[in-house]
């Protein structure tokens, strides 16, 4: 349908100076730059090594030495230059950028490896202070909510790559995109020079089934909690998993960041869909079951963005979303697909000790409560 969602990060990229735009695979880095940033030169680094340069007739292939010589000359001029998947280049590329004496051009580096980005931003990096990092994750709630009006649209289309399958029916788009998920996750691991091991997939399956604490994940895998904590950290660094603090506790709930990745691993673990088409009846049943949980996660993230605070939740009594700023709770929320008249009163009773805004968010009022120009 050709839907394009304007993203606030564009303004960060348009600012003066060199930019390092990074994030996991398929969050829209290349699409954003190629559609919203006027550039003069675009280079794409293939995984096997050759570098593609965009020209009027398409692309030409450059050797690394030819590319490096060209870049060294181009950054002396008044150009905007994009180097996509720069992390695949040899390490001396970064050294060259550091020692370049003239840097008049605007350089935009796009990277899909969190490991390489951390190295670039480390205290010993040759270009620390020369490039400004901009992280691109799932589309921000404030951006997606401007474009779409239904719960399932705002939930699933934070993953922009699903839009290519959309023709007016969200669940059909998700179903069509579903069998690309394992390849997407595998690519994310490949960019990190890691293998998608049985342990990593086991953690994703455990999370998708609702095992949100390390001890429960470990129990699902038949391991000790200490054995899986480093794996969880890696998954968080890669942008595949996030954690939400339990209010007042030194505990965190772990979740798969992307609803479609979560949905895939739930379906695959329970019904085995990796190599088979899934029956529509089963898919719709699970889709309907999972959607309220994804909506809750969306609302929590949206409120955190709105208030500039941190996402938290409570387990006893159960409160879907608390937004904190410093040590103060600024908002409490109950999240329902369809709320009833007594939900706000129940929330107020559960959160009587907090002097903050208290809202019930559902499928009819979410734009009014969450949307801000």
Quote the radius of gyration of the chain (alpha carbons, Å).
22
Q: Where are the alpha helices (DSSP H) in the chain?
A: 9-14, 29-36, 64-74, 92-99, 114-120, 141-147, 151-156, 170-178, 181-191, 198-208, 214-221, 225-237, 259-271, 280-307, 343-350, 366-370
Please give the pLDDT value at position 163: 94
Residue holding tokens 């490896």?
A: 113
Q: Is 327 exposed, middle or buried (0-12, 13-18, 19+ CB in 10 A)?
A: exposed
Across 281-315, b (16+ Cβ under 10 Å) vs e yields eebeebbeebbbbbbbbbbbbbbbbbeebebbbbe
Strand, coil or helix: what is 334?
A: strand
Please give the pLDDT value at position 99: 83
Ramachandran assignment for 239, one of left (phi > 0), alpha (psi -120 to 50 degrees), beta (any other): left
pTM score, whole prediction: 0.91
Q: What string of pLDDT tens digits covers the 373 residues of the chain?
A: 478 898 999 999 998 889 999 988 889 999 999 999 999 999 999 988 789 999 988 899 999 999 999 999 999 999 999 999 998 999 889 888 888 878 899 999 999 877 777 777 777 777 777 888 899 999 999 999 999 999 999 999 999 999 999 999 999 999 999 889 988 898 888 888 778 789 999 999 999 999 999 999 999 999 998 889 999 999 998 889 999 999 999 999 999 999 999 999 999 999 887 655 677 888 999 999 999 999 999 999 999 999 999 999 999 999 999 999 988 999 999 999 999 989 999 999 999 999 999 999 999 999 999 976 5
Report the CATH fold assignment for 9-135: Rossmann fold (3.40.50)
Enclosing H/E stretch for 322: strand 318-325
Q: What is the distance between the alpha carbons of residues 50 and 100, in angstroms, rounded to a whole number?
A: 23
Domain residue extents for the chain = 9-135, 141-370
CATH of domain 141-370: 1.10.10.10
Q: What is the distance between the alpha carbons of residues 289 and 277, in angstroms, rounded to a whole number?
A: 19
């Amino acid at each position: 349908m050709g839907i394009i969602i304007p993203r606030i990060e564009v303004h960060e990229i348009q600012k003066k100076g060199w930019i390092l735009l990074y994030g996991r695979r398929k969050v829209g880095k290349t699409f954003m730059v190629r559609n919203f940033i006027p550039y003069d030169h675009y280079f794409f680094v293939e995984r096997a090594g050759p570098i593609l340069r965009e020209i009027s007739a398409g692309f030409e292939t450059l050797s690394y030495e030819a590319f490096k010589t060209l870049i060294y000359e181009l950054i002396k001029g008044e150009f905007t230059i994009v180097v996509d998947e720069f992390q695949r280049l040899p390490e001396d590329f970064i050294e060259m950028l550091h020692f370049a004496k003239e840097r008049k051009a605007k350089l935009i580096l796009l990277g899909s490896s969190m490991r390489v980005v951390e190295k670039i931003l480390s205290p010993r990096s040759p270009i620390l202070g020369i490039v400004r990092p901009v992280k691109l994750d799932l589309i921000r709630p404030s951006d997606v909510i401007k474009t779409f009006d239904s719960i399932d649209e705002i939930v699933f289309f934070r993953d922009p790559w699903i839009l290519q399958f959309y023709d007016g029916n969200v669940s059909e788009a998700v179903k069509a995109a579903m069998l690309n998920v394992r390849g997407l996750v595998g690519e994310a691991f490949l960019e990190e020079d890691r293998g998608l091991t049985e342990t990593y997939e086991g953690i994703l399956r455990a999370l998708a089934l609702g095992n949100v604490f390390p001890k429960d994940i470990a129990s699902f895998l038949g391991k000790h909690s200490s054995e899986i904590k480093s794996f969880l950290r890696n998954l968080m660094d890669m942008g595949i998993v996030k954690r939400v603090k339990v209010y007042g506790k030194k505990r965190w709930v772990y979740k798969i960041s992307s609803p479609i990745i979560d949905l895939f691993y739930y379906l695959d673990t329970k019904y085995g869909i990796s190599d088979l088409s899934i029956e529509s009846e089963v898919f719709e049943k699970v889709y309907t079951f999972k959607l309220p949980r994804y909506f809750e996660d969306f609302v929590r993230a949206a409120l955190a963005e709105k208030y500039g605070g941190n996402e938290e939740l409570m387990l006893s009594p159960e409160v879907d979303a608390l937004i904190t700023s410093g040590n103060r709770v600024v908002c409490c929320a109950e999240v329902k697909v369809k709320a009833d008249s007594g939900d706000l009163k129940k929330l107020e009773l559960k959160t009587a000790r907090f002097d903050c805004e208290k809202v019930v968010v559902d499928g009819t009022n979410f734009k009014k409560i969450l949307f801000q120009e």
